[in-house]
């Protein structure tokens, strides 16, 4: 018991030294609340989760050059997406109709965004993700479509992927999102944590069905496997995340009875499928050097490379999880720049 506490004290100091104080407070607060929500029996305190989550409403009035509105794209599953568009403050006030007016740009990147939360937490209207999407719009001069996908443990694999796929098809068929250059919708998939995992899996479906995705952006994507890797053991509990909590989320998301070598969790593992000769989008994989699942993320990038796919790996040495939530560190700007170049390479 004593030893544990000593280790705990060291842990807390470690993470406090590598991030600004307000970032430390933000992420520690999440860690604390999330600890209260996960029950040992695998159930989730959803009511408390929704109570604690800080949400924001959409705003059709431009704020800092971005407006947003929500669209229910599938009444059956109540699937909601939040759409963010560039808009200047002095433009005439938009009404319901103008939203479907063509954005009318020669090359318009449309980024379908999947928020993180390890498949269980957060929503498209969570404050942290609303602000991130707004930043992406300004940064990339893109339209962002944030997907409010169904979450675990109430909705296991493949619900989140299904919702992503539904959204992809919907976005692809919106005439008002087409780039005027080629009358097509220029689609990118982006996501952090579980969102990154969803990006990969939705891209797979797109590849199988012939819908073109121009690029995948995976920010600290959530992957794993049965094996315990070196980074997992080395960083366990040191920077906000523990192996134990990772295990819990996989048990909550994967089909009951499945293990972490399920291809959804471990795409290049023993049960993974080969991506050789698959028309898969180019990928930008961002790995935080203090994220304990980095070995799996690096293995993912390697797997893509081995399959002859176009992948750019961005390894951020002293970054922790959630570094992109606040614009108060170098990594944030590095990544924003990279994402911008990535989606604007053909503009």
Partner 1 sequence: MKRNHQVSCGGGQNGGNTSVSNSSKAKIWEEEQESGSMDELLAVLGYKVRSDDMADVAEKLEQLEMVMGSAQQDGISQLSDTVHYNPSDLSGWLQTMLSELNPIDDVLSNSQQQRQRQKQKQIETQSRVIIYDDNSEYDLRAIPGIAAYPQSQLQTETETTSKRLKTSIGSASSSSSSIEPRPVVVVDAQDTGVRLVHTLLACAEAVQQDNLKVADALVKQVGTLAVSQTGAMRKVATYFAEALARRIYKVYPQEDSLVSSYSDILQMHFYETCPYLKFAHFTANQAILEAFATATRVHVVDFGLKQGMQWPALMQALALRPGGPPVFRLTGVGPPQPDNTDALQQVGWKLAQFAETMGVEFEFRGFVANSLADLEPSMLDVRPPEVETLAVNSIFELHCLLARPGAIEKVMASIKSMNPKIVTMVEQEANHNGPVFLDRFNESLHYYSSLFDSLEGSSGPSEDLVLSEVYLGRQICNVVACDGGDRVERHETLTQWRNRLSRAGFEPVHLGSNVFKQAKTLLALYAGGGGYQVEENNGSLMLGWHTRPLIATSAWQLASPSPSPSPSPSRLS
CA distance 306 to 97: 47
Report helix, strand or coil for 5.
Answer: helix
Output 73 or 264, the one with its CB closest to partner 1. 73
Helix 127-140 to helix 330-343 angle, to the nearest 10 degrees? 50
Report helix, strand or coil for 120.
Answer: coil
Q: Is 220 exposed, middle or buried (0-12, 13-18, 19+ CB in 10 A)?
A: buried
Q: Which residues pair with 66 in a beta bridge?
A: 63, 86
By CB under 8 A, tell whether 345 contacts partner 1.
no
Q: Residue 267 Cβ, how far from partner 1 at the closest point, in Å? A: 31
CA distance 334 to 219: 12
- Classify residue 179 by its DSSP letter: B
List 177, 281, 329, 342, residue binding partner 1 (CB under 8 A): 329
Q: Which residues pair with 215 in a beta bridge?
A: 188, 282
Please list every residue from 17 through 56 that binds partner 1, using CB under 8 A: 20-22, 24-26, 28-29, 32-33, 35-37, 39-40, 45, 47-48, 50-52, 54-56
Q: Residue 7 Cβ, how far from partner 1 at the closest point, in Å? A: 10
**Which range touches partner 1 (CB under 8 A), out of 64-72, 204-212, 279-287, 296-304?**
64-72
List 3, 17, 41, 96, residue binding partner 1 (CB under 8 A): 96
By CB under 8 A, tell whether 80 contacts partner 1.
yes
- Paired sense of beta strands 79-86 and 143-147, if any: antiparallel
- Out of 68, 122, 193, 194, pick the active-site residue: 193
Q: Residue 242 Cβ, how far from partner 1 at the closest point, in Å? A: 12
Sequence-distant (6+) residues with CB within 8 A of 161 are: 198, 201, 202, 205, 264
**Which range touches partner 1 (CB under 8 A), out of 121-129, 159-167, 248-256, 282-290?**
121-129
Q: Residue 155 Cβ, how far from partner 1 at the closest point, in Å? A: 12
Annotated catalytic residue 261: no
Output 50 or 208, the one with its CB closest to partner 1. 50
Cis-peptide, bond into residue 158, ω within 30° of zero? yes
Inter-residue contact 19 to 329 (CB < 8 Å): yes
By CB under 8 A, tell whether 155 contacts partner 1.
no
Annotated catalytic residue 283: no
The per-type count for the chain, helices as H runs and strands as E runs, is: 10, 8
List 92, 97, 175, 257, residue binding partner 1 (CB under 8 A): 97
**Which range touches partner 1 (CB under 8 A), out of 92-100, 212-220, 251-259, 261-269?**
92-100
Size of the site for partner 1 (CB under 8 A): 79
Question: Which sequence positions are flagged as catalytic?
Answer: 193, 291
């Amino acid at each position: 018991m004593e030893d544990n506490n000593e280790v705990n004290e060291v842990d807390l100091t470690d993470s406090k030294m590598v991030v600004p104080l307000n970032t430390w407070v933000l992420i520690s607060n999440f860690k604390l609340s999330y600890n209260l929500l996960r029950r040992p029996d695998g159930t989730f305190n959803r009511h408390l989760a929704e109570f604690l989550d800080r949400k924001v409403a959409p705003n059709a009035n431009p704020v800092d050059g971005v407006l947003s509105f929500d669209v229910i794209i599938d009444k059956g599953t109540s699937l909601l997406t939040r759409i963010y568009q560039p808009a200047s403050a002095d433009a005439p006030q938009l009404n319901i109709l103008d939203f479907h007016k063509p954005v009318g740009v020669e090359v318009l990147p449309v980024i379908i965004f999947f928020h993180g939360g390890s498949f269980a937490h957060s929503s498209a209207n969570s404050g942290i993700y609303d602000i991130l999407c707004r930043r992406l719009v300004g940064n990339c001069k893109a339209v962002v479509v944030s997907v409010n996908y169904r979450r675990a443990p109430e909705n296991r694999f493949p619900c989140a992927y299904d919702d992503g796929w539904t959204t992809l098809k919907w976005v692809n068929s919106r005439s008002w999102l087409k780039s005027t250059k080629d009358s097509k919708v220029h689609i990118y998939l982006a996501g952090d944590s579980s969102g990154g995992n969803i990006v990969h899996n939705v891209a797979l479906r797109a590849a199988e069905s012939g819908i073109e995705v121009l690029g995948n952006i995976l920010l600290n994507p959530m992957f794993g496997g049965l094996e315990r890797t070196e980074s997992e053991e080395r960083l366990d509990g040191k920077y906000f995340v523990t192996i134990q909590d990772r295990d819990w989320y996989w048990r909550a998301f994967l089909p009951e009875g499945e293990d972490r070598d399920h291809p959804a969790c471990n795409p290049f593992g023993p049960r993974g499928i080969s991506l050789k000769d698959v028309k898969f989008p180019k990928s930008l994989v961002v790995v935080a050097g203090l994220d304990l699942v980095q070995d799996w993320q690096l293995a993912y990038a390697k797997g893509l490379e081995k399959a002859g796919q176009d992948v750019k790996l961005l390894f951020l040495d002293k970054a922790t999880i959630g570094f992109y939530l606040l614009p108060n560190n170098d990594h944030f700007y590095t990544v924003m720049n990279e994402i911008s170049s990535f989606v604007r390479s053909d503009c």
